[in-house]
Amino acid sequence: MKNFFKIIIIAAFGVMLYPLFDSFSGNGQLNDLASFYAQKENVEKVNSANLVTAVVVTYRGLDTLGEVTILFLTAAIIAFFLTKQSEVRTLRRNSEIFQTAARLLIPVIIMVGVYIFINGHLSPGGGFQGGAVIASAVILMLLAFPNMPFNSKLFGLIESTSGLVFVGIAFLGVLIGTGFLDNAILPLGTFGELLSAGTIPIIYSFVGLKVGAELSNIISGLQSVQADN
Amino acid sequence: MEYVALIIGFLVILAGLWAIMTRKNIIRIIIGFSIFDTGLHIVIVALAYVKGGTAPILDSAVGIDDALNKIVDPVPQALVLTAIVIGLGVTALMLAFAMKMHKEKKTLDIRNFRDMKW
């Protein structure tokens, strides 16, 4: 009986979604807002080859600031919830192969993450993706060497410094540029070069560091309260 | 092409809803929320598709002059980036709550948590 109701609710949800599918006819061309972002003179104003990055960091940079704040709140709540336990954990020793492979792979993974967020304005990628890759290196480290002390104070310091630099660069736009998060306070450079697009690579690098540090803190918080049962 | 992505997105949403409503283990319910999220992201990106368009990244293939006619809409992709990060935050919080609940009752079966049920 209960399952019957659940099936009815899911079917009703599917019926509700059907008109959305039915009335969708595909886009023949960009809408007005996207055309504004893709126009030649506006692309040259931001000078970022990756238009998604231009939207995320410059046009809608305030959204990104809110997003980073939400991540910070999550990390803070989890750190508040999951305080360290005093009980001793008996851990099985990891195999030699796993530990050696982890030692080899962790620097490479961190390097890939840094590459992704430094090239965020040129190729697919950016601060959030690069930060997630760096955090995956931290997961590997915590799995391979569970007894290694995790310095969450250092990660907290990296995180808050990066956040402050992000907001500081955004405010510099108000002081010497045309507005909050104006990326043209630094020279825009040549289109498609690594050092181009003004402050976008700098902001995205700090976002990457911040996200990586925050996710690492969340993971270590979840790991530190794990019991043996 | 855009229809395929749209249908898959809706099916993934329904699968996530099914997992949320029928599973008993809290971890599996959280996975259901994640699947629901993923379906929504697929739908939003599918809605941004422009016929014959390519990724909104300008290089030698898509020149700066004809970008207007060649790329798909970048705005929903930026919104999905935001949505993914917020979904990650929500998932991490739910997992933290699940760990707290497991500490209280030593079980993750949702049927044992009746304190808030009326």
Q: Does B91 touch chain A (CB under 8 A)?
A: no
Report the phi/psi class of residue A88: left, alpha or beta, with left for phi > 0 and alpha for psi in -120 to 50.
beta
Measured between beta carbons, which residues in chain A are less than 8 angstroms from residue B59? Answer: 49, 192
d(CA B107, CA B118) in angstroms, rounded, equals: 21
- Among B7, B58, B100, the residue with its CB nearest the CB of A43 is B58
Measured between beta carbons, which residues in chain B are less than 8 angstroms from residue A197? Answer: none
pLDDT in the model for residue A226: 67
- Predicted confidence (pLDDT) per residue in B60-80, tens digit: 777 777 777 778 888 888 889
Query: Is B62 contained in some domain?
Result: no
Q: How far is B58 from chain A (nearest CA, A)?
A: 5
Report how far Cα A3 is from the mean position of its chain's Cα atoms. Answer: 39
Contact B96 A34 (CB under 8 A): no
Residue B21 has pLDDT above 50, yes or no: yes
pLDDT in the model for residue A37: 81
Query: Is B64 contained in some domain?
Result: no
Q: Does B27 touch chain A (CB under 8 A)?
A: no
Average pLDDT over residues B25-44: 92
Residue B12 has pLDDT above 70, yes or no: yes
Encoded amino acid at A58, one letter: T
Q: What average pLDDT is seen over chain A?
A: 82
| Domain region containing B87 | 2-55+69-112
| Number of domains into which chain B is organized | 1
3-state secondary structure labels for all residues of chain A: CHHHHHHHHHHHHHHHHHHHHHCCCCECCCCHHHHHHHCHHHHHHHCCCEHHHHHHHHHCHHHHHHHHHHHHHHHHHHHHHCCCCCCCCCCCCCCHHHHHHHHHHHHHHHHHHHHHHHCCCCCCCCHHHHHHHHHHHHHHHHHHCCCCCCCHHHHHHHHHHHHHHHHHHHHHHHHHCCCCCCHHHCCCCCCCCCCCCCCHHHHHHHHHHHHHHHHHHHHHHHHHCCCCC
- Among B18, B51, B93, the residue with its CB nearest the CB of A10 is B18
Query: Is B9 contained in some domain?
Result: yes
Task: Find, in chain A, the residue whose alpha carbon is nearest to that of B51.
Answer: A28
d(CA A109, CA A134) in angstroms, rounded, equals: 7
d(CA A204, CA B85) in angstroms, rounded, equals: 15
pLDDT in the model for residue A86: 58
pLDDT in the model for residue A228: 53
- The SS3 call for residue B77 is helix
Q: How many percent of chain B have pLDDT more than 90?
A: 18
Task: Find, in chain A, the residue whose alpha carbon is nearest to that of B90.
Answer: A74
Q: Does B115 touch chain A (CB under 8 A)?
A: no
A54 neighbors A46 (Cβ within 8 angstroms): yes
Contact B82 A63 (CB under 8 A): yes
Q: What average pLDDT is seen over chain B?
A: 85
Q: How far is A120 from chain B (nearest CA, A)?
A: 11
Task: Find, in chain A, the residue whose alpha carbon is nearest to that of B94.
Answer: A78
Q: Where are the domains of chain A?
A: 42-84+98-223
Q: Does B64 touch chain A (CB under 8 A)?
A: yes
Residue B32 has pLDDT above 90, yes or no: yes
Residue B38 has pLDDT above 90, yes or no: yes
Q: How far is A171 from chain B (nearest CA, A)?
A: 22
Of B32 and A200, the structure prediction assigns the larger pLDDT to B32
pLDDT, one tens digit for every residue, chain A (229 residues): 778 888 888 888 888 888 888 888 777 777 878 778 877 777 777 777 788 888 888 888 888 888 888 888 888 888 887 776 656 667 777 888 988 999 999 999 999 989 988 888 888 888 888 888 998 998 898 888 877 777 778 888 888 888 888 888 888 878 887 777 777 777 777 776 777 777 888 888 888 888 888 888 888 877 777 655 4
ipTM of the complex: 0.80
Contact B68 A39 (CB under 8 A): yes
d(CA A80, CA A68) in angstroms, rounded, equals: 18
CA dihedral over A95, A100, A104, A110, signed as positive or negative:
positive
CATH number at residue B82: 1.10.287.3510
- Predicted confidence (pLDDT) per residue in A38-79, tens digit: 777 777 777 777 888 888 888 888 888 888 888 888 888 888
Contact A64 B57 (CB under 8 A): no
Contact A34 B73 (CB under 8 A): yes
In angstroms, what is the C-alpha Rg of chain A?
A: 22
Indicate which of A6, A9, A15, A30 best probes the interface with B, i.e. most B CBs within 10 Å of its own CB: A30
d(CA A84, CA B65) in angstroms, rounded, equals: 57
pLDDT in the model for residue A53: 85
Contact B51 A39 (CB under 8 A): no
Tell me B67's DSSP state. Answer: H
Query: Is B117 contained in some domain?
Result: no
pLDDT in the model for residue A14: 86
Q: How far is A149 from chain B (nearest CA, A)?
A: 21
Average pLDDT over residues B109-117: 80
pLDDT in the model for residue A227: 58
Closest residue by Cα to residue A208 from A109, A115, A104? A115
B51 neighbors A30 (Cβ within 8 angstroms): no
pLDDT in the model for residue A108: 94
- Enter the tokens of residue A173: 């736009």
Q: Does B82 touch chain A (CB under 8 A)?
A: yes
CA dihedral over A78, A64, A175, A120, signed as positive or negative:
positive
Q: How far is B81 from chain A (nearest CA, A)?
A: 8
